[in-house]
Amino acid sequence: MKKIAILGSTGSIGTQTVDILPSIDAQVTALTTNKRIGLLETQARALRPKMVCAFDEAAARDLKIKLADTDIRVLSGMDGLTACAAESGADIVVTAVVGMVGLLPTLAAIDAGKDIALANKETLVCAGELVMRAAREKGVKILPVDSEHSAIFQCAQAAQGNRIAKILLTASGGPFFGKTAAEMQGVTREQALRHPNWSMGAKITIDSATMMNKGLELIEAMWLYDMDPADIEIVVHRESIVHSAVEFADGAVIAQLGTPDMRLPIQYALTWPARVPCRAPHLSLTEIAKLTFYPPDYEAFPALGLARRAAREKGDRGAVLNGANEAAVGLFLDGKIGFADIAARVAHALDSIPYQRELTLDGVLAADAEARRLARA
Ligand code: NAD
Ligand code: MG
């Protein structure tokens, strides 16, 4: 039986992870939330983990009262999140928290020799170099949950020792596909939160609208598959059926297809290399009938170019890009800045913060803090 810790179990990926548990032979060792303690209590009573964490201190105090009749340990803050990742007795940790808050617990889990089912892309964007190095040193597997990266992982199994020449990273294009920058000037929070194909947390939904999500995924793919970002092509594919593809030296392209449902990539990260029946609906190609592909519009979606630049330059640029983006998306969701200001603030942070090539954990944390400060100023 596989022992699983789920960080961010109350979110979109977290609840879908809980949903597929009956399909796999698993025991949950830890669950965490920021503040959604009502749902966390329900999950904890059903799954009986050894420990749980509410990141928010006040929420953790309330959760402790709610779970007082159980023997489940209730923790809080970064120490609690890290303990759930590294000390709950898990074999594999699902990192489904949103944002770079996932970095320290992910590193702690790797250090403790736990495999990682990685949904939390911000961790690789900020510190991919450090995370992948730590995983290599500890012999830990990083199994991708992000649908595109799971697709690439599945396609890469056709490589048989051959190098992947190119990655075709597909993108839905988000709610504003086909619009010019000028047409997107005044879009509202509600419009940006209306994703055509996927139901996800607020932050990643805004990232999909700006297409920063695809930029973050470009960097995520670069680190996961040790690719030159120039060999990762972004392809807009409105139907979200082809989840991504890889190309080999002879020109053969291998793609993974499926309905847009995160439960398959989540489950595969937990059962790999086995495949077991999944609750996600199966694909009917004849019902879909038509698949379309377009080049991305780098002018209308400047976040793509900013992410490409950070991918090329490496060092602390991923941390700067991500920190500024997290802060700017937060401001947009709070109604404090406009849609176009998100990319503008990220660009400003990349232009203003001095470049550090050598990456250390302290350097990542410092770059992140400075990028957030600038983006909020
Ligand atoms: P979400 O907002 O729905 O859930 C986030 C989870 O993290 C919740 O459990 C929340 O309580 C917790 N959390 C939030 N802030 C926290 C903090 N400061 N400290 C500790 N915990 C905190 O987000 P989501 O859509 O599930 O996305 C989670 C991650 O997975 C993100 O990195 C996202 O990019 C990635 N991802 C999501 C999807 C998707 O379909 N939702 C697809 C691919 C990748
Ligand atoms: Mg994705």
Place of tokens 């159980």: 70
- How is the chain split among helix, strand and coil, in percent rounded to 5? 50, 15, 35
Q: How far is the CA of 96 from the centre of ligand 1 (A)?
A: 5
Using DSSP, state whether 247 is helix, strand or coil.
strand
State the Cα torsion 287-290-295-298 to the nearest 10°: -50
- Cα 304 to Cα 208, 307, 308: the distances in Å are 11, 5, 6
pLDDT, mean over the chain? 97
Pairing of strands 142-144, 115-118: parallel
Tens digit of each residue's pLDDT (9 = 90 or more) over 78-111: 999 999 999 999 999 999 999 999 999 999 999 9
- Give exposure, 97-115, as e/b (b: 16+ Cβ within 10 Å): bbbbbbbbbbbbbbebebb
Domains of the chain as residue ranges with CATH: 2-144 (3.40.50.720), 149-301 (no CATH), 314-377 (1.10.1740.10)
Q: How far is the CA of 296 from the centre of ligand 2 (A)?
A: 16
Tens digit of each residue's pLDDT (9 = 90 or more) over 107-145: 999 999 999 999 999 999 999 999 999 999 999 999 999
Decide if 104 contacts 110 (C-beta within 8 A).
Answer: no
Cα(183)–Cα(172) distance, integer angstroms: 19
This prediction's pTM:
0.98
Tens digit of each residue's pLDDT (9 = 90 or more) over 188-208: 999 999 988 888 999 999 999
Ligand number, closest to the Cα atom of 206: 1
Site to probe by mutation for ligand 1, drawn from 6, 12, 75 as the one with most ligand atoms within 8 Å of Cβ, is: 12
Closest ligand 1 atom number to CA of residue 122 = 32
Q: How far is the CA of 266 from the centre of ligand 1 (A)?
A: 13
Site to probe by mutation for ligand 1, drawn from 16, 35, 52, 97 as the one with most ligand atoms within 8 Å of Cβ, is: 97
Q: How far is the CA of 327 from the centre of ligand 1 (A)?
A: 15
Pairing of strands 2-7, 26-33: parallel
